[in-house]
Amino acid sequence: MPADAPAIRLLIGLGNPGRQYAGNRHNVGWMILDRLAARAGARFSLEKKWRTEVARAGDLWLIKPQTFMNLSGEAAAAVASFYRLSPASCVAVYDDKDLPFGVLRLREGGSAGGHNGVKSLIAHLGTQEFPRLRFGIGTGRTGGTGRAETVGFVLGDFSPEERTHLEKRLDRATEALNYAARHGFAQAMNHFNRPEPDFPPAPPAPSPPPTSDAPSTP
């Protein structure tokens, strides 16, 4: 790890609380952190003062904000402030509908790309210069999509065909985060942003239309 690179200390999984959202594509950030915590022998517990679930895995803090997607930055900023962590040491982990299913992309900063959870992180951390791991959920469509159709897609569960590849891709994401913590985020980008010709992404299936009480847009 370069001497001047901040150590990764906090992983922020983006998702929506509630059993009905647990398997949604929009909750893949939580799926990744759940897997990482389980493999480290860590357990999440609710910290009411921060409105987030928290786990400790070695030198890493893992959080799953319980505020719904659009307010995720509130919990993230509170935890970062308490532990005096810079945004550059906090990694956001979330879904990206503009990437093919299962593809990983690591970036050191950038815009929200239309993702409301990331918009909230930018607003509350006061910068867009924080690292992130994006997990592709793909739209499986070649044309444009309306807002309602997009919300229905991200708040839908992974299709049976996607699930045949999902476990392997979640493993790959946890590997990327552990690698970033050990070797630095720049090294992780070089290693995990490479094409993976041995992995054929599964085409997503269309999802049913959203309900009127959908908690978030992507």
Q: Which residues pair with 46 in a beta bridge?
A: 53
By DSSP bridging, strand 90-96 and strand 10-13 are parallel
- The answer to whether residue 124 is catalytic is no
- Closest CA relative to residue 199, chosen from 174, 167, 176, 175: 167
- Closest CA relative to residue 150, chosen from 197, 50, 218, 62: 218
Query: Which residue bears the tokens 């690179």?
Result: 5
Rounded distance between C-alpha atoms, residue 131 and residue 89, angstroms: 8
Rounded distance between C-alpha atoms, residue 32 and residue 173, angstroms: 7
Helix or strand or coil: residue 152?
Answer: helix
- Closest CA relative to residue 177, chosen from 185, 186, 165, 169: 185
* 60 backbone φψ class: left, alpha, beta (φ>0; ψ -120 to 50): beta
Rounded distance between C-alpha atoms, residue 71 and residue 59, angstroms: 26
Of 26, 115, 183, 191, the catalytic one is 26
Asked if 26 and 154 touch (Cβ cutoff 8 Å), the reply is yes
Q: So which residues are the catalytic ones?
A: 26
